[in-house]
Structure 1
């Protein structure tokens, strides 16, 4: 099978990477307002950073896997595996109300959840791109 998916997906991943860089740049420009503003703004910034981090991690992983995929079929299997893993991670997240001393661990779990949301955004975007490419080929 030809590598008909590899090139368009790499281009799409570069576009997504540029989008993430723009989001991070915008967030960093707002940093002054957040550090001097109310506490909830700092919390919102942390959530946005977790989502951006998840996006960056998924983009990096997919770039490597797309380049290494021996065929389109292998690439489709890899994307499907990521979709399943992320869906399972989102489904398994259960917020817990813990004792005051355990807020740190609860915060880490929440950060992981939002990082997973960022990964889910990227994998959904890649899935939509694959469907668009496949519909063009028909």
Structure 2
């Protein structure tokens, strides 16, 4: 098996595993919905953040899967994945800086917080795929 195929196959396999994990976690969240809805407010808030985080993971999995399908050779896949991941990481860092500098919650704090958790989910997937690529590049 050549390097290109092994990177492509390894990333594809990793994405399937990540997708299964994300689907399972969403399913567990939905199973426990009734407990959360009748529980304390902080459990409801945590559930919302968990959903944003998992939606971010799903969004990244879909985007990387599309890159895999559109760029089957090693060089173009890695180039397009790097471009995609750099944009998400830059957006995540801007969001993190915004939080650090936030002295008090703004009117759109809920949307800002949800977006930040979505980016955190995307970053987790990106970091995992970066590791997969690095492990198969040597």
TM range (shorter): 0.7 to 0.9
**Alpha-carbon offset, residue 31 of structure 1:** 0.8
Q: What's the CA shift string for 1:60-118, capped at 9, x where partnerless?
A: 1111110110421111112211221122112211134256xx2xx11101100000000
TM-score, normalising length from structure 1? 0.88
2:15 equivalent in structure 1? 13
Taking structure 2 as the reference length, what is the TM-score of the superposition? 0.88
Which residue does the alignment assign to 1:27? Answer: 29
Structure 1 residues without counterparts, runs of 5 or longer: none
Query: 1:119 aligns to what?
Result: 122
1:106 is matched with which residue: 91, 105, 109? 109
- Aligned equivalents of 1:9 and 1:74: distance in 2? 14
User: Is the 8 Å Cα contact of residues 3 and 137 (structure 2) preserved in structure 1?
Assistant: no
Aligned residues: 131
Correspondence 1:133 to 2:136: yes
Q: CA deviation at 1:121?
A: 0.4
Over the aligned positions, Cα root-mean-square deviation in angstroms equals 1.6
- Runs of 4+ residues deviating >3 angstroms: none
1:78 alignment partner in structure 2: 80
